Amino acid sequence: MENVNITINGMPLSVPANYTILEAARLAGIEIPTLCHMKGRNEIGACRICVVEVEKARSLVAACVMPVSEGMVIKTNSKKVMESRKMTIELLLSNHNRSCLQCVRSGNCELQTLAFEFGVEDAGRFDGAKTESTEDTSAAHLIRDNSKCILCRRCVAACHTQTAVIGANNRGFDTVIGSAFNKDLNDVACISCGQCITACPTGALRERDDTQKVFDAINDPTKHVVIQTAPAVRAALGEEFGMEIGTNVEGKMVAALRRLGFDKVFDTDFSADLTIMEEATEFLDRVQNGGVLPLITSCSPGWIRYCEQFYPDMLDNLSSCKSPQQMFGAVVKTYYAEKNGIDPKDIFSVSVMPCTAKKYEIARDDQSAAGVPDLDATITTRELARMIKKARIQFTKLPDEQFDNPLGEDTGAAVIFGATGGVMEAALRTAVDTLTGKDNESYEFTEVRGMEGVKEATYDVAGLKINVAVASGTDNAKKVLDAVKSGEKNYHFIEIMGCPGGCINGGGQPIHSQAEWATIDIKGLRAKALYDQDASMPIRKSHQNPMIKTIYDEYFEKPGSHKAHEILHTSYKAQTNTIK
Amino acid sequence: MLKKISTLPFDGTPEQEAKLVEYINGIRDQQGCLMPIMQEAQAIYGYLPLEAQQIIARELEISVEEVYGIATFYAQFALTPKGKYNISVCLGTACYVKGAQALVDRITQVLGIAPDECTADGKFSLEACRCIGACGLAPVLTINDDVYGRLTDKDIDDILKKYE
């Protein structure tokens, strides 16, 4: 790409010709503010916060969509620009529910930050008609409050590559973000992925907060409260405390959970290993005994909900394994309860997940191995951070502590579950050893790593040719499934995650501004934290986890046993009633 | 203005669906085909009920929300059916100052429907329109192609009786 010469605030600059003014200004060390812009996903130039002055242009131009051209002279912070931006902020505030004190996004709200930076003194300067506050509380995972919506459409763009169940309805001042025929989210084909929440610049979309439920359980002396933490949480939780993106905070997270008062701090990694044992067994059984192929992973409840609604004819392809969260919950209320002589009814089982769909998953049918729900509450990474802050635990100063035993043992295979391709790689590590009957040296299946939406590979395992595919984000899942249905592709094993990039980019993860998303490889850094941990671990294969061996010896007998099926597996139902 | 959504049951026929699908098949490869498809659907069903929007979404492999967003953006699309007799009361400036609102109020009183609604028996629907170019007859209303002018609310009952 050739360069063009431009001037920004008097400084000459040579920038690639396909850059927008927004991107060019970054080269000059200037971050032009935006609200509606999402690089490559929502480039609509609608919010007018990013306006700049361009010599000879008739009016201010939107930097996020205006390409640079030879000789362009740009002013990014002239008086005219600053006044225009400030007035735009004031106009947005004029129809904004300014209950910032009670808002979950206070301190991490892009509109609030701008209002502060631009010195808005009277937020009500242009007050007039207000959009009626219509809260949608129908979904298990999120709450939408349109009185805080600024109509930037970032959630719509985030949903567009998922299930596209939300959009802008009506016109003019009546415009609201909602679903077809004003249906509640629970009545449309929403998969609870929460990608809309992490895209929202304000508090219009937020997760359903379950932290009080958890605090109440901790404070209830009759309850034995255990918590499990998903792999992806440790790769992102530190961001909530100002730590660098990609810092693995496993030890500090465990320390914080102990200080919050959980009786036992366990690791979902353990049940990720258990999932691999069951799923690899299921896979080999299907391959060797002519079962339904391709086998598709079932760890991601967003993906499961997508499959049940959009591909009900492929439910037999899904692994019957519960997700690691649910397996863990089931093990806690059966094996662990029996072993420790605790009535499952007295256990309050909590999970901390990078995921909002987990809030939906815990209430699914066929998820109560001990006759009580496998899980009692699930909180997101963000909610855990909120609890830690509320308890005034000084996270960054905590020592690194270890998970409790026995359900805190894990392997490198389990840790990488949090990134797209991780489950596939973990399953391959175990499948290869099982098929060859020996402890193979080759741990790493790098073809299935990385942030591409669809990855494919073929492995020759003990003479057996295995075609695998990995997809993350439901638009990529659709591509893979359609290729399978049309006969174009012949896979044996597919990993699908509902969120783009897998759990490390789940809808429950810390929220970042679009400026950060545009300039930092957030997904890649979080994934790297997990792959680095995997590489540093003494045991990197699920079947070599000593506690896994113990639990099969003492309790489940062998992978795929009758007891394992009763406790660790589940079932699926077509969901045809929702509006798509 | 927010569009009213019909609460009447959908009474579309398989023939109507086949007609719509046939139209879609003939135009689906054209860029920007959604608008003409929605216009055709409205011509077939008289309005754009959920069921019709679902057919369009299914055929074009887009979400219903994408169709609905457009249906609620443009004034030309209706989410409520038209009755056998569509009453259109002009609320343009001349008619309005001559008391057209009283006509609307009386119709609402007699038929039990507000503007953009249809009676449960599908006989009458009511809409408010802007100037139809007959200001000399203000206030004016039309029922299908019949025009009635220089009205007061006292005339409404007799006019409606003609359509029973």
pLDDT in tens, A247-297: 999 999 999 999 999 999 999 999 999 999 999 999 999 999 999 999 999
pLDDT in tens, B137-147: 999 999 999 99
At A442, the pLDDT band (50, 70, 90 cuts) reads: confident
Helix, strand, coil in percent for chain A, rounding step 5: 40, 15, 45
Q: What is the mean pLDDT of residues B49-64?
A: 97
pLDDT for A323 beyond 80? yes
Is A441 strand, coil or helix? coil
Question: What is the model's pLDDT at position A324?
Answer: 97
Q: Where are the alpha helices (DSSP H) in chain B?
A: 14-27, 34-45, 50-60, 64-73, 93-97, 100-111, 156-161
Task: Check CB contact of B1 with chain A, cutoff 8 Å.
Answer: yes
Of A171, A182, A580, the CB nearest to B64: A580
Q: What angle do CA A281, A283, A288 make, to 5 degrees?
A: 95
Residues of A in contact with B62 (CB under 8 A): 164
Q: Do A188 and B54 touch (CB under 8 A)?
A: no
Task: Check CB contact of B146 with chain A, cutoff 8 Å.
Answer: no
Q: What's A68's domain CATH number?
A: 3.10.20.740
> What is the DSSP annotation of A203-254?
SSEEEPP-HHHHHHHHT-TT-EEEEEE-HHHHTTGGGGGTPPTT---HHHHH
pLDDT for B15 beyond 80? yes
Task: Check CB contact of B164 with chain A, cutoff 8 Å.
Answer: no
Closest CA to B6 of B73, B43, B53, B63: B53
Question: Which two structure tokens, joined as six digits, stand for B99?
Answer: 């008391």
| Final residue before a domain boundary, out of A77, A101, A119 | A77
Q: How many domains does chain A have?
A: 3
Q: How far apart are CA A249 and CA A235, in angstroms?
A: 7
> What is the DSSP annotation of A518-535?
HHS-HHHHHHHHHHHHHH
Q: What CATH number does domain B85-161 carry, 3.40.30.10, 3.50.50.60, 3.40.50.10490, 3.20.20.70?
A: 3.40.30.10
Q: What's A191's domain CATH number?
A: 3.30.70.20
Q: Where are the alpha helices (DSSP H) in A261-418?
A: 268-288, 301-310, 324-331, 337-340, 357-361, 381-390, 412-415
Q: What is the pTM of this model?
A: 0.94
Q: Phi first, then psi: what are they for A457, rounded to 5°?
A: -160, 160
Task: Check CB contact of B64 with chain A, cutoff 8 Å.
Answer: yes
Which residue range is the domain that position A45 belongs to? 3-77
Q: Do B69 and A169 touch (CB under 8 A)?
A: yes
| Mean predicted lDDT score pLDDT of chain B | 95
| Mean predicted lDDT score pLDDT of chain A | 96
pLDDT for B75 beyond 90? no
With beta carbons less than 8 A apart as the criterion, state whether A291 and A441 touch: no
Of A163, A167, A189, the CB nearest to B69: A167
Task: Check CB contact of B62 with chain A, cutoff 8 Å.
Answer: yes
pLDDT for A133 beyond 80? no
Closest CA to A155 of A489, A511, A444: A511
- The DSSP call for residue B155 is G
The count of C-alpha atoms lying within 13 angstroms of the C-alpha of A357, restricted to the half-sphere facing its C-beta, is: 26
Nearest chain A residue to B55 by CA: give it: A580
pLDDT for A453 beyond 90? yes
ipTM above 0.90, yes or no: yes
Give the gap in angstroms from C-alpha A166 to the nearest C-alpha of chain B: 6
Residue A20 lies in a domain: yes
Residue A579 lies in a domain: no
Q: Could you give the angle at which helices B34-45 and B64-73 cross, rounded to 10 degrees?
A: 80
| Final residue before a domain boundary, out of A77, A103, A121 | A77
Residue A19 lies in a domain: yes
Same domain, A221 and A202: no
Which residues, in sequence order, are CB contacts of A257 under 8 Å at separation 6+? A227, A229, A265, A352, A384
Q: In Å, how far are A31, A44, A90, A520, B105 from A513, measured between CA atoms?
A: 12, 17, 20, 11, 52
Q: Do B66 and A164 touch (CB under 8 A)?
A: yes
> What is the DSSP annotation of A57-117?
-SS-EETTTPBP-TT-EEESS-HHHHHHHHHHHHHHHHTS---GGG-TTTTS-HHHHHHHH
Q: Do A168 and B69 touch (CB under 8 A)?
A: yes
Task: Check CB contact of A131 with chain B, cutoff 8 Å.
Answer: no
Interstrand relation of A347-353 and A464-472 (parallel, antiparallel or unpaired): unpaired
Residues of B in contact with A190 (CB under 8 A): none
Q: Could you give the angle at which helices A381-390 and A211-218 cross, rounded to 10 degrees?
A: 50
Question: What is the model's pLDDT at position B164?
Answer: 81
Q: How far apart are CA B156 and CA B148, in angstroms?
A: 10
Q: Do B65 and A170 touch (CB under 8 A)?
A: no
At B1, the pLDDT band (50, 70, 90 cuts) reads: low
Interface probe, candidates B48, B65, B116, chain A, greatest A C-beta count within 10 A: B65
